[in-house]
Amino acid sequence: MNKIGIHFGYFNTDWNTDFIRQIGQIKRIGLDILEVAPAPLLALTKKERDAIAETAKENGITLTFSVGLGADQDLASEDENVRNRGIKFTLDTFKIMSEMGANMYSGVDIGAWNQPFTTGVVDKSAVIQRSVNSVKEIMKAAGALGITFAVEVVNRYESSLVNTAKEAMAYVDMVDSPNCKILLDTYHMNIEEDSFADAIRLVGGRLGHFHVGESNRRPPARNGRMPWDEITGALKEIHYQGAVVMEPFIKMGGEVGRDIKVWRDISQDASPEEMEQLVKNAAAMLREKLG
């Protein structure tokens, strides 16, 4: 049975949060995974991180890590100093992941997030190669620590490097590491792929992580627009046993609303209790269809 989780940003307006409180919230809702971001955790002391890890363990909650690298950490940058900062940030994250008992690292992790090309480009091979070279360095630590590095397939408005499952397959081939997998996300797939099922089948055994949400980033819903029977059917067809993590963002305001570009109240003025109920309903639907 696939573990079901949610990105911590769903409940927050800013990236810094009380992770211990959120672990309790996730437990109460009935989820298995809390997906967290590295930067807020790197800003804490080791003692504070240890307390979060222990709370997660006591509550049976798995922690997975998802990143959006900044422009000053771009692994594909022409500037070697920028690339090195990105490598160091990733390796620092791996260190705290290992200490906290986490082994899944994903997100916009091969280049800068929200930094697509600003000029007309017809050949991105040099940019891809710089990114691959950086990730190859990172894979040495990933292998030693048993961490899966999942390359997220992201829409054209948030990244220029890997926009489709086909491009991700080629990228992972270039990295050539058993620890380098692929993350597919239904929100991005809805924009870029011709077929949800075909993209999932293409990736097959290289699918390391899976994000779900509606086309407007609401939590998955029975009455939503996404073809959940097709999506979950393809996951079962390839015998995907990994995590299925919701990544909905539906509230305006703060750092989260700004960075995710939520310019209207997609929640329709939902209360905290209603926000939780949306997630409970989504988890029940996903478990039913994946069962």
Catalytic positions are 152, 247
List alpha helices for 146-164, DSSP H: none
Residues forming a β-bridge with 34? 6, 63
The rounded Cα 77 to chain-centroid distance in angstroms is 22
Which amino acid is present at 169?
M
- Phi, psi values for residue 103, rounded to 5°: -140, 10
User: Which residues fall within 8 angstroms of residue 269, CB to CB, at 6 or more apart?
Assistant: none
Measured distance CA(145)–CA(16) in Å, rounded: 26
In 10 A of CB 228, how many CB atoms? Answer: 22
Q: List for the chain the helix, strand, coil content (%; round to 5).
A: 50, 15, 35
- For residue 42, give the nearest of 109, 81, 87, 100 by alpha carbon: 100
